[in-house]
Amino acid sequence: MLNVVIFGAPGSGKGTQSKLIIKEFGLEHISTGDVLRTEMKNGTELGKIAKGYIEKGQLVPDELIIGMLAKVLDSIENKNGVIFDGFPRTIKQAEELKKMLNERKTDVKYAINLDVEEDELINRLLERGRLSGRSDDNLETIKNRLEVYHSQTAPVAGFYIKEGKHHTIKGVGTIEEIFERIKKKLCQTS
């Protein structure tokens, strides 16, 4: 199974590139951000709790995310593999993902880290906020999200470096150029 983790700072292009990877490789898509936004829209208990964290630019607590992910994983039948978009965001989530996949006789094959400088990230997110009105795409929340990224999510790279699965991809350029870089990596090493 081709299980791929795609990670990077907020606005690095995870969701954007995931869509292209899914199409090319026939994978299932799990975006924890999308799942949380659906829960928020439907006004569920989880959605109400998540809203408080997301609007402050903080991470939703690990226990909630891990429980949510286990349910989504069990509902998937695609045998080609899964792209994990925006998960794991902490070392604890990376450890739990490994456990969950091992229990299902599989594992992560590649961790793709999209590298984009901070000014570009802020510009992209402000632009998305302007167009979509997403409540966490405002300057104050974006700055908090970037801080949280550096303190809690960036260390996840070390987890996958140790496992020999980590690949940094330059995340600046056109969407198609970046996708070509990712595709080359996934084809080269598979």
Which of 7, 86, 110, 186: binder of ligand B4P (CB under 6 A)?
86
- DSSP one-letter string for 157-186: HHHHHHTT-EEEEE--S-HHHHHHHHHHHH
For this structure, is 130 an active site residue?
A: no
With beta carbons less than 8 A apart as the criterion, state whether 106 and 1 touch.
yes
Considering only residues 48 through 67, tell me which ones interact with ligand B4P, judged by CB under 6 A: 53-54, 59-60, 65
Alpha-carbon span 160 to 111, nearest angstrom = 7
CA dihedral 186, 28, 35, 164 (to 10 degrees): -30
The region of 31-39, 75-83, 154-162, 181-189 touching ligand B4P under the rule CB under 6 A is 31-39
Q: Is the dihedral of CA 135, 140, 143, 144 positive or negative?
A: negative
Position 15 contacts ligand B4P (CB under 6 A): yes
For this structure, is 181 an active site residue?
A: no
Which of 3, 4, 5, 11: binder of ligand B4P (CB under 6 A)?
11
Residues noted as catalytic: 14, 89, 128, 134, 145
Binding-site ranges for ligand B4P (CB under 6 A): 10-16, 32-33, 36, 53-54, 59-60, 65, 86-87, 89, 93, 124, 128, 136, 145, 175, 178
